[in-house]
Amino acid sequence: MSEKRSELVKQLNVEEIRRDFPVLSRKVHGVPLIYLDNAATSQKPMAVIEAMNLFYQRENSNVHRGIHTLSEEATADYEAARKKIARFINAKSWREIIYTRNATESINLVAYSWGLANLHPGDEVLITEMEHHANIVPWQLIAERTGATLRYVPITLQGYLDLDKLNGLLTEKTKMFAFTAMSNVLGTIPPVKMLVEKAHAVGALALVDGAQAVSHMPVDVQAWNCDFLAFSAHKMCGPTGIGALYAKRQLLEEMPPFLSGGDMIRSVWMDHATWNDVPHKFEAGTPAIAEAIGFGAAIDYLQKIGGMEAIHRYEQEIIAAAMTALQEVEGLRMIGPPPEDRGGLISFALDGIHPHDAAAILDQDGIAVRAGHHCAQPSHDRLGIEATDRASFYFYNLPEEIDMLVRSLQRAQAIFHHP
């Protein structure tokens, strides 16, 4: 296995890549940091940090509102990043990309703008039991306000969507089918293209929560033919505070504004206003300019190191090795499907040890994982687990860190199960 691990590291040049991330060289509690909380947020390479610093040092100005040099430079870089995002997910046009604060705001934008305008009593919104709360709670609130009904596709005990139940749930009453492209708890990668096709077959729209998927695997919105895709920069080496919503342009033209104020208008009179062209119609006020530039720099970086296909292959190998190694930990239960059907994360529970206690022991050994329900309580409820620990990997994680994770978990067992 050591030879295979060495070959994996060489293929993506992981040792060299790690030098681009300053935080990976620090120590925690006197030992080297092992960062396995990438599903929550990824670390940032110097290319992203420097791009944002350069904006503040050289061209800090507002966008779309000035004809002076700094404003024109800021606007050019801000809009160039939007075009990079569009190409990254293969959107037809940069006008189909709306800047938001994060994937959560992207979903809320669709729920409040499209949902309030189009849902009525008797209509149904279909989601799944494996959703993050960000793709559950907005639809609960919109259903309450519109009289629509919210329904769920169940998951199996193996962590898959129960597709046998789908046809009975996806009917002519369904107006929106909103689902994740990768579960943040189970790691499950559903058949997105097939789910979109089934939604369209009954006349429903399809929203894909891509918060986990876009940062870890190739995503092509035209191939999927989804109507909406929500994702965040901070999970893909970009800054916090900015995300994106992809939406088909015709839908954006028809939807009312989500927020109102400056820059989203064309003209304002005392008694009414008209709206700016999309996507600016949905971007009220001064935007996160430096963050957008950092978003674009993150995409440049991901493509520079080999692209999303290479990253996805590496993570699948890493997760397969991790799932094999974790079987050595007595009393450890992993949830979700096998490696070939999941992304680069593993949620697990240790018999007799609360996830918070296990995470505290791991932290003492410099290992950062997430503990809790991971903003996905329905998934945990379905599997009969109150909470889990989650180790989530990225392309800068070394296979050797798996061994350290295993040893630390065995140490936790020794502490809590001593004779």
Active site residues: 375
Whole-angstrom CA distances from 232 to 75, 94, 148, 176 are 21, 17, 28, 21
Residue 211 vs residues 45, 134, 215, 244: alpha-carbon distances, Å:
19, 10, 7, 10
Residue 162 burial (C-beta neighbours within 10 Å; 0-12, 13-18, 19+): middle
CA distance 377 to 361: 24
Residue 127's H or E segment, with its range, is strand 124-128
Rounded Cα distance between 279 and 113, Å, is 14
Are 340 and 317 a contacting pair, CB within 8 Å?
Answer: no
Instruction: Confirm if 115 and 176 have CB atoms less than 8 A apart.
Output: yes
Q: Which residues contact 12 (CB under 8 A, 6 or more apart)?
A: 305, 306, 310, 311, 314, 395
